[in-house]
Structure 1
Amino acid sequence: STQSPVIFLCLCLTMEIASSAASQESQDSTTPTSQSVYQSALSTHRMPCLSQFLGLMESSSECGYCPPKKTRKQRKRKIGAETTLLSEDGNDSSKEISVPGSKPKISTTISQFLTNCAPHIYDAIMNKNWRRCGDYFYFPKNDITCCPQYAIRLDVRSFQLEGRGAVGKKQRGVWNKMGRYLEVLEQGRDMHKEHEQNEISTGTIDDEDVEMKDSHQEELNQKYQQELDRVRERVLVVLRSAITKFSLSRGNLISQIPQFESQDWMRDGLQPSNRKNVHLASNAMIKLFGMAKKNKLDLGFKSVSDLTHSFVDNVLRNESTDSGILSVEATKNGWINFQLDHMPAPPPFADVSITGKEFKKKAKSSSSKKHTSEEVRRLIDNGLEVTLSRAKYDEEEFQLYKKYQMAVHKDPEDEITSKGYTRFLIESTLVPVSDARLPFGGYGTFHMQYRVEKTKQLIGVSVVDILPTGWSSVYFFYDPSFSFLSPGVFSVLYEIDMLKEMCKKHPDFKYLYLGFYIHTCQKMRYKGEYGPSELLCPETHTWVPLSTATKVLDKAKYGRFQPDPSVPRYDANINHADDLLLLVDRSLIPAKFLLQEKNFMQTEECETLTKELLLFKRTVGEHSAKEIAYYVSSLG
């Protein structure tokens, strides 16, 4: 083939690129030892990083961070080109209205798909304001997008939990509360162990008896669970029958919901309750209302509360007579509470969690001694089981994710699929690099599980990318029943503490990347509380103290953070794309060869491709652009 010398040359160049440890864009991010280790580990990976560049993308909808639209109820008037938000007839409805003279809110990004992305490449372009979701990478066009998003990072060596005003007090409160919770949880276990040791020391029982008691405890736990399952099944029979009759009374409308036939949603939503005189609680009507709304079926009720009260008063209460159900009540938020004639009690010292109310009660009744920071850390280290492993599908994690999305983000259950979860948080385009000499044993995408040591209950999962310069947070989800412990805040504090320890061995592995800081969105400003943080200047792609950047953002949503006027724009000296590699028809070709060879492309096509390549090179950075093969779909 006439192209074979070119292809061979490009393949050799690409393999050399793929085996280099860190680009200059990572700003000497690793120590020489870490760099050489990384080079050696990455050298076995011969596939080039490939970009399918999409260019400038405008979303047809808002980004999700925009403030809510103005409503007539706000009665807020505008002056000049904008009109009043109160209608001429004085109608006080909450209907959303447009404001003449205002700009439409459109989310605008530069986007691409990357495959076989080496960790140091992502590290470098992340320092250019790129972030990823799976293999989709996006660069917010902050000068024109609706809600500018700025990369934020923390040098963990500078973080101090002690003595940092109101924010520090809140964070210390979260840290101490977790330690106190684990202490209270362990006190029950300690009392049990102390009782056993007393019996052993007095000769009442021996070690063999203790083993028999542990075995007996396990039998009691299993028996309790079996009895609980039988009671739940008895209530489920009544609940299914009542919903079927209720559906018939509504013209069999409910049975038209596709998800209705799979009745797992009824079983999953019926759980034990800790409320007084309530044994079981069901969210069946909440789920039913949501499924009907999603399928655009009008059940004839304005709210889930109306639906639940009608169902209980007209059908369920009559259906539950002579079934062991003493009472059934509908709550205003859509739950159904059951009181039973018999409810199995958890056995002594059973592995059951402590609720938020129980924790507060036990914490007050126990010792009021304040612990030092070292004692709190010891309580956390002994009470939590934290494990880090490469991202892979885990059913227990998926069920926790599902529970979290439904409770916290109000996602409909039928929209949360294992396939979507896998695509979002399992699949990763980052090349996994493993070596025990690297921080945490390698780079790539990982899941870190938080479990209560005593109960082995999974309470939270951090999804992270481990890169040459630090730890990039991707997503965190947790068991909503532990929300009283502020697990999101705690996980950040724990990971900062963990990174500080790792930094002692790997001094350049020092940054915690928390994604994007959005100054125009109040709920996203919390990332700035882990200080002293830095924001990436959108004009120079240099890191600036958050305190300096917010002075600019308080005046305008976009601007230059870098105060030094001598620092040039990030794209000031990038005027050509001749030094890039293109993938065309499975062949790697230097861009210079293709752009200058008029036989391959028309002038207009050549100009368009040149503009795209320049946009790509300017946004990912000159050095990273040379390490990525740019995919061209076709010629001519």
Structure 2
Amino acid sequence: MGERTEEISIVELLGWSDGGKCGYCKDGKGDGLKRNLGEKNEEEEKEALEGGSVSLGCAAYSMHVRDFENFLLWGWSRSGSYIYKPFMEKTCCPQYTIRLDVGKFILSRTQKKVLRNMRLYLEKGVKAKGGKEEREDMSKRGGQIGDQEMKEENNEEKKPPKVEKGLKKKEIRRKKAIEKWMKKGLNVEDEMEKRMNKEKMRVKTLEDRIGSLSGEGFAHELEIRLVAVDSEEYVERADEEYQLFKKYQESIHSDDDVSRRGFDRFLVKTPLTSADRSMGSFHMRYMVDGRIVAVGVVDILVESVSAKYLFYDPSFSFLSLGTYTALQEIQLVRKLQERMPRLRYYYMGYYISDCPKMRYKGAFRPSDLLCDRSLSWVPLSECSPLLSSNSHLFTLFRPSLPTAPRLDPRNAKLYLGGEITNLNSLPPFVRSKITDKLESFCAFTTPDASKIVLVIKELQIDGMG
């Protein structure tokens, strides 16, 4: 095609999917069938999809990491090679993309406790009481942290008397220090700067709190390996991962029909490509005393790390591995910044405001949600009251902003018989059969999608006929 294959993104437009029952509210009127766009006019299509889970889907043959990052910025997600965008106005549970700027991340009290419990287990073999799992996958992300986490976070915000008392004590100490410096004839401004620098040094960072994962005299050793899914290292212990996934599915989801093929298709197969081997799809393996106890599935992109899924050994739930692995993934972004300075964001999949099992994502503060129409990022703290006041129905967080520019169908790259063409180059009778399908895709993407090669089944049949 005249371009390096590894730089080309090729996707097949599949059309609308009603998906049957929703995976979040278990509702929906769909029959689970794929519907091809273009069979009805736009209004008929939307009416047919009324109720239940509704999304637009594509099959990615190859997807450069740069282009997939754009899909995240447009509100899409990935499951294996299937990429999809919820139809927010029609789907039963509006799903908002949520991300965190890791440079602004603030540890909560609960998160500090999780890190402390892990250190106690590694150093002394002590198992924390009451530990429970919070996180499943970052696209569906079930888990049970929601109510408890938010309760504890809210409690932190309801203690102004202690804060005021603390500030008064701090002010008294500050005044005494100034008096002491003045008596000694020292420069107050210089001494204040030194004092502030010392205080900054005492503040523990995420990295400080994670601490060592092994050491002399430790009861247990934790090793974390970031493994590319297409590497020999992955293959060497792929079966162990699969057995762990089966155990997880059977115990947590009561699913005893887990095939190796399904596991590979869902969590191993990836369309992501990059000439830079430090980017792409990876499994973060968490090994306690050499045994894999948890696996986090992540995509490392140009400016972000996107968390896809987590599965773990249920017998280690006392370590709150959901929160712990998410904190490790945040640290991963920070660590990778040393050689990939553009990395900045941690994507946590979708956020559903009225789903209790999703609320824990808001505890990774300060997170932002994507406004579906303007494609602007809005602090979750601003979005929450808007969602509540709108009964958690589809909400525009920045209604005053204009709609983000969308891809013009005439500028889309279309694949036909080994060549790349465009809409205007097609015969009218062929163009009419693919226009609706193409326009639906363009309505959920921006002009940056003009770099992507689109495969449309109807075009291959009629265009070659």
1:142 match: secondary structure? coil
User: How many residue pairs get matched?
Assistant: 351
Aligned residue runs from structure 1 range 224-235, under 5 A: none
What CA distance in whole angstroms lies between the structure 2 residues aligned with 1:67 and 1:634? 37
Aligned residue runs from structure 1 range 493-512, under 5 A: 493-512=327-346
2:97 is the alignment partner of 1:137: no
CA displacement at 1:550 relative to structure 2: 1.5
Aligned residue runs from structure 1 range 392-407, under 5 A: 392-393=234-235, 394-407=238-251
**Which residue does the alignment assign to 2:445?**
620
* Contact 1:113 1:136 (8 Å CA) reproduced: yes
What CA distance in whole angstroms lies between the structure 2 residues aligned with 1:55 and 1:626? 20
Deviations 1:192-229 (A, max 9, x none): xxxxxxxxxxxxxxxxxxxxxxxxxxxxxxxxxxxxxx
Distance of aligned partners of 1:581 and 1:158 in 2 relative to their CA distance in 1, 3 Å threshold: same
**Which residue does the alignment assign to 1:581?**
413
* Contact 1:585 1:634 (8 Å CA) reproduced: no
2:373 is the alignment partner of 1:433: no
2:7 is the alignment partner of 1:169: no
1:113 match: secondary structure? strand
Aligned residue runs from structure 1 range 162-311, under 5 A: 168-185=108-125
Aligned residue runs from structure 1 range 502-541, under 5 A: 502-541=336-375
What CA distance in whole angstroms lies between the structure 1 residues aligned with 2:247 and 2:356? 25
Deviations 1:416-468 (A, max 9, x none): 11111111111111114335xxxxxx11111111112xx21211111111100
**Which residue does the alignment assign to 2:15?**
55
**TM-score when normalising by structure 1:** 0.52
CA displacement at 1:57 relative to structure 2: 2.0
Give 1:110's match in structure 2, choosing from 56, 60, 67: 56
Give the 4+ runs in structure 1 shifted more than 6 A. Answer: 372-375
**Which residue does the alignment assign to 2:224?**
386
What CA distance in whole angstroms lies between the structure 2 residues aligned with 1:119 and 1:68? 34
Give 2:210's match in structure 1, choosing from 364, 377, 392: 377
Give 1:465's match in structure 2, choosing from 299, 314, 322: 299
* Contact 1:570 1:618 (8 Å CA) reproduced: no
What code does the residue aligned with 2:246 have?
K
**Which residue does the alignment assign to 2:264?**
422
What CA distance in whole angstroms lies between the structure 2 residues aligned with 1:129 and 1:585? 31
CA displacement at 1:613 relative to structure 2: 1.8
CA displacement at 1:64 relative to structure 2: 1.4
CA displacement at 1:125 relative to structure 2: 1.0
CA displacement at 1:627 relative to structure 2: 2.6
Distance of aligned partners of 1:376 and 1:137 in 2 relative to their CA distance in 1, 3 Å threshold: closer
**Which residue does the alignment assign to 1:191?**
none
* Contact 2:95 2:352 (8 Å CA) reproduced: yes
* Contact 1:110 1:141 (8 Å CA) reproduced: yes
Give 2:397's match in structure 1, choosing from 561, 571, 575: 561
CA displacement at 1:141 relative to structure 2: 0.4
Distance of aligned partners of 1:609 and 1:517 in 2 relative to their CA distance in 1, 3 Å threshold: same
* Contact 2:11 2:452 (8 Å CA) reproduced: no
CA displacement at 1:568 relative to structure 2: 1.2
What CA distance in whole angstroms lies between the structure 1 residues aligned with 2:83 and 2:59? 6
Higher relative contact order (CA 8 A, sep 6+): 2
**Which residue does the alignment assign to 1:218?**
none
What CA distance in whole angstroms lies between the structure 2 residues aligned with 1:150 and 1:504? 30
Give 2:309's match in structure 1, choosing from 471, 475, 481: 475
Structure 1: runs of 5+ lacking an equivalent: 1-10, 16-42, 70-102, 162-167, 187-371, 436-441, 595-599
* Contact 1:387 1:450 (8 Å CA) reproduced: yes
CA displacement at 1:403 relative to structure 2: 0.8
CA displacement at 1:615 relative to structure 2: 1.9
What code does the residue aligned with 1:580 have?
A
